[in-house]
Structure 1
Amino acid sequence: MALNVPNVKFYNGNEIPIFGLGTWKSQPGEVTKAVKDAIDIGYRHIDCAHVYANEKEVGEAIKAKIAEGVVKREDLFITSKLWNTYHKPELVEPMIKKTLEDLGLDYLDLYLIHWPFAYKDGSDNFPKTPEGLPLLDDSVDYLDTWKAMEAVFAKKLTKNIGVSNFNSEQIDRLLKNSTIKPVTNQIECHPYLNQKKLSDYCKEKGIVITAYSPLGSPDRPWAKPDDPKLMDDKKLQELAKKYKKSVAQVLIRYQIDRGHVVIPKSVTKTRIAENSEVFDFKLTADDIAYIDSFDCNGRICPMFGTEVSKHYPFNIPF
């Protein structure tokens, strides 16, 4: 079965399915089944990262579905990300090779710098100071990391390179000091943080936005009981009734109708299927503007403790 998922064209002519499966917080034991289910349902775009600690399990699912003849490698679009402890230029190639080995692939379709700031390198993905704060390494500049990203692209280890969680000034600086422009900026995006200015800025530069946490990431480990829950928003529930869709489907469609690639995460087969049933309706321009008005700078992934880094991305409006 194939979903009729439109592609978005990058400035370099390559294409990415506008819709895919996110795998952040998917437990190793659950993620293999989730990816297999997603591929069976018709998903062709899987978003991964080394730091999610489940790439081997994602790889098992991909391998199984290729072996079954459900898909060929070239039917799939696989993204991964360079973690903060591997920003030193000499660590980038060994790291993408580790990801490829874990996923059981010869190449990635897209490789991203996960965050613009670096952590102290070493075997711990989350090195800490004695006070328990992230152990940052501001001696590493993302411009140097990017040059190493260009090098792994030149070696055909990935078909595209991009960034994640970069602000407009960081992208601007990157564009002025690089040979290859990033194809995408993957950012947190949902009605409480609609990212309109950053989205417009990236569009102007020919960079595609990929929206993560489009459903407000209700299962994030640091959520507090009294945090507003996007999926419980009464205004969104009313809108969902109007379209005879679920709130999740409206939230996913909201990104698609804005031209954003969107990667909702789920490990439940029924939800993985439901999340994909968004290509038989469109939101009106008025409803998109209405949803835009819910913005309250409600960032849910601020990366606590990294605010002191000179490369922290959220100290400016966008």
Structure 2
Amino acid sequence: MSYEPIFDALRETRFPLVNGCGDMPAVGFGTLFKDLSVTTQAIKHALETGFRHFDCAERYRNEEMVGAAFKAFLETGKAQREDLFITTKLWNTNHRPERVLPAFEASCRRLQVDYIDCYLIHTPFAFQPGDDQDPRDPFGHIIYDGGVTLIETWRAMERLVDEGRCKSIGLSDITLQALKEIVAQARIKPAVVQVESHPYLPEWELLEFCQAHGIIVLAFAPLGHGMEPNVLEDEVITGIARRLQKSPAQVALAWSVQRGVAFLTTSATLSHIRENFDIATLPHRAMHEIRQDITTRIRFNSVVETGVPGFIPRKK
């Protein structure tokens, strides 16, 4: 017999933001696509399916296309701007304090919104300021900016909150140690920390620290990004999926929300978008199995070490 609750509210879960500035839907949709031309249609599919939390970034180079989808959907009257939770991110080349506000305002213009719900520092690494998002020397090495510290960038982020331009601020692709340093010095504490996390990288220590400080952990690549070893082919995950008559993806995503971690999935395929939204509460036994029986530990994206986003290809 399948495990199918009469009504399951897991997909409706919301996590409160620190400073009483609202809450974030735990179920989120990422907007990073290899083929930028699919962006607007994918966002429209996600909105129609029921997603209300969207994660954007200057670096993704498609904020205009995301904004076009938001505008079209809001014009149908099916939702108001306040029904959407929109995150975007400050890129590495804009860490100098005087560059933060212009970068923020440019994102707002492209997304066609008056305010942002959450603005994140995309990575803790400052790159050479300028229009080139990927500044490199003649040898192909990234040119970092030694003239600005992360706390200086954070102070400029705090001013955006002071001025009511964004409801909350946070960090992305950051280690626990670097996060602790910001939390210790911040006047306005980070509301959100976005990191890679999935059953092969549960980040329990980071989660414990964040929960102690009221910080939401937001997982990217919650399904392992299709990398090897494949999270969705894990025997524990597939076994639970068979028992509950759910897909492995639905099991991994439900696990995320139930342990208190918001997630972002990305797809341009309507059936996958619907599948990723249609999660239901896992029994305690399944949660225990995932925590105790999965021992593989692997990070798929090296951005946390360099500030350069990229999944690391691995052979089986």
Asked whether the two chains share a fold, i.e. TM above 0.5, the reply is yes
Match in the other structure for 1:10: 17
Aligned to 2:249: 248
- Given that 1:117 and 1:138 are in contact with CA atoms closer than 8 Å, whether structure 2 keeps it comes out as no
| d(CA) in 2 for partners of 1:42, 1:231 | 24
TM-superposed CA distance for 1:193, in Å, is 0.7
- Percent of aligned pairs sharing the same letter: 35
For each residue in 1:59-84, what CA deviation from the matched residue of structure 2 results, as whole angstroms up to 9, or x when unmatched? 00000001111211111110001111
Q: Distance in 1 between matches of 2:140 and 2:194?
A: 28
Q: Choose which of 94, 117, 121 in structure 2 pairs with 1:113.
A: 121
Mapped partners of 1:67, 1:73: distance in 2: 10
Counterpart CA distance in 2 for 1:286 and 1:244 is 15
Q: Is 2:154 aligned against 1:153? A: no
1:160–1:305 distance in 2 versus 1, CA, 3 Å? closer
Counterpart selection for 2:190 from 178, 182, 185:
182
Contact 2:175–2:304 under 8 Å retained in 1: no
The gaps in structure 2 that reach 5 residues or longer are: 1-8, 309-316
Moved more, 137-146 or 100-109: 137-146
- Structure 2-normalised TM-score? 0.89
- Counterpart Cα distance in 2 of 1:130 and 1:235: 47
One-letter amino acid of the counterpart of residue 161, structure 1: I
Letter aligned with residue 289 of structure 2: Y
TM-score scaled to structure 1, two decimals?
Answer: 0.89
1:133 aligns with one of 136, 141, 150: 141
Whether contact under 8 Å (1:136, 1:306) holds in the other structure is no
Q: State the secondary structure of the residue aligned to 1:111.
A: strand
Tell me the amino acid that sits aligned with residue 11 of structure 1: V
SS of structure 2 residue aligned to 1:299:
coil
CA contact (8 A) 1:26 1:267 kept: no
- The whole-number CA distance in structure 2 between the counterparts of 1:303 and 1:110 is 21
Asked whether the 8 Å contact 1:27–1:54 carries over to 2, the reply is no
Tell me the CA shift for residue 305 of structure 1: 7.4
* C-alpha contact 1:134 1:305 (8 A) present in aligned 2: no
Unpaired runs of at least 5, structure 1: 310-318
**Mean CA deviation greater in 249-258 or 129-138:** 129-138
Map 1:33-182 → 2, pairs under 5 A = 33-182=41-190
**In angstroms, what is the RMSD of aligned CA positions?**
1.8
Instruction: Give the secondary structure class of the aligned counterpart of 1:95.
Output: helix
Instruction: Report the counterpart of residue 312 of structure 1 in structure 2.
Output: none
What is the letter of the counterpart of residue 119 of structure 2? Y
Q: Secondary structure at the match of 1:263?
A: strand
Name the one with the larger helix percent: 2
Count of aligned positions: 297
Query: How far is the alpha carbon of 1:11 from its aligned partner?
Result: 2.2
